[in-house]
Copies of this chain bind each other. A is one copy, B any other.
Amino acid sequence: MSQSTEQPSERPAGRAVPTSADVARLAGVSRATVSYVLNNTSAVRISEPTRRRVREAAEELGYVPHAAARSLRAGHSRMVLLPTPHVQVGPLYSQFFNEFQWALRRLDYTVVQYGSVGLEAEEAARAWAELRPVAVVALGESRLTGQGVEILKRSGARAVITLGTERVEGAHALVMDQGRVGEAATAHLVETGRRRIGVVVPEEPGLAMFSGPRLEGARRAVAGTGATVVPLPLRYEEESANALAARWRALGLDGVFAYNDEYAMLLMRALQDADVAVPAETAVVGADDLLLGRLLRPRLSTVRIDMVIGRELAELVDRAVREPEAPPRTSDLMASRVVRRESS
């Protein structure tokens, strides 16, 4: 790349990106004045005619300030970084995320999702730190370590918050207690008299962070009740479900928590095709309370998950940013409750 010193002859489009200096020149004022006008700084008084001239010049040139230069000078930004998950997320999650983003913007933050596919934990943290975000809200799935938190804080992040199943040293944590989902579903099955309870564990990679805790929760629910839990690996494919259904009677199960409504629908169809009566012979419970589950016959029982609303989380971020010295707190991100329909 050759540098052009004065006359930018290499611009292909024939025009350089306008800066505040260009605006100043066109308006016949100093650059400082341009800055004052465009940020309408209250501490300095600029006459109305000058203000207008500056605004018109900016408009004419199509001037847009340079965010990087601005935050470099300011020494900080109001950028909140959300490492993008590379896992499939359900509609519940994506709605929550949208709400969260919207709320942060209301609080005058700039939300940036930034993917870091294929990087190791510490390396990813370093990549995020380069952007000098004021806060980082990371999914548990992004495998942020205590080391990573340290890197981020050292690079100026005033708040690091994890959304996940477990805490990370030094970071605020919003715990999604996935265990409660499995626990609620299984407790319900036990209460309605089921004794041998299957728990579907999806084989799809990336779901482990959800399925593991849900299985653990199920185990907690049966502890001391005499009922037992049987893990059931399952791929989200018809053949896999049919194979499972074929050996259903051999397994001797009278109830199943199917991970979520989609897996439940898949399994329920396979069971019915194999002449296993639902709920008479085997009760089925899903999770997420999808509309589609209500359309089945029998209607699918489910665990309804209510997530913290985005606005609440946004306010938590804002508080954490304003009080970086406050000790990391842990709180619940979601609540679960069983919705009983006909399949259990």
Whether a CB of chain B sits under 8 angstroms from the CB of A192 is no
Q: Is the CB of A108 within 8 A of B4?
A: yes
Contact-size category for A: 35 or more
CB contacts (< 8 Å) of A110 on chain B: these are 114
Minimum CB–CB distance from A21 to chain B (whole Å) comes to 15
Whether a CB of chain B sits under 8 angstroms from the CB of A12 is yes
Q: Is the CB of B72 within 8 A of A325?
A: no
CB contacts (< 8 Å) of A325 on chain B: these are 12-13
Q: Is the CB of B18 within 8 A of A64?
A: no
* Closest B residue by C-beta to A150: B62
Q: Is the CB of B237 within 8 A of A67?
A: no
Minimum CB–CB distance from A82 to chain B (whole Å) comes to 8
A1-42 CB contacts (< 8 Å) to partner B: 1, 3-4, 8-9, 12-13, 15, 17-18
CB contacts (< 8 Å) of A322 on chain B: these are 8
Q: Is the CB of B118 within 8 A of A105?
A: yes
Q: Is the CB of B292 within 8 A of A62?
A: no
**A266 to B86 alpha-carbon distance, docked (Å):** 30
Q: Is the CB of A64 within 8 A of B4?
A: no
Whether a CB of chain B sits under 8 angstroms from the CB of A44 is no
**Given contacts A102-B117, A113-B112, A292-B292, is CB(A324)–CB(B13) below 8 Å?**
yes
* Closest B residue by C-beta to A153: B13
Minimum CB–CB distance from A40 to chain B (whole Å) comes to 9
Minimum CB–CB distance from A257 to chain B (whole Å) comes to 19
A97-155 CB contacts (< 8 Å) to partner B: 98, 101-102, 105, 108, 110-115, 117-118, 126, 129-132, 150-151, 153-155
Would you list 24 pairs from A and B whose C-beta atoms are within 8 A, ordered by A residue? Answer: A13-B324, A13-B325, A15-B154, A17-B156, A62-B150, A62-B151, A64-B129, A64-B155, A66-B130, A67-B130, A68-B132, A86-B98, A98-B117, A101-B115, A102-B117, A110-B114, A112-B113, A112-B114, A113-B114, A113-B115, A262-B292, A265-B292, A265-B295, A266-B291
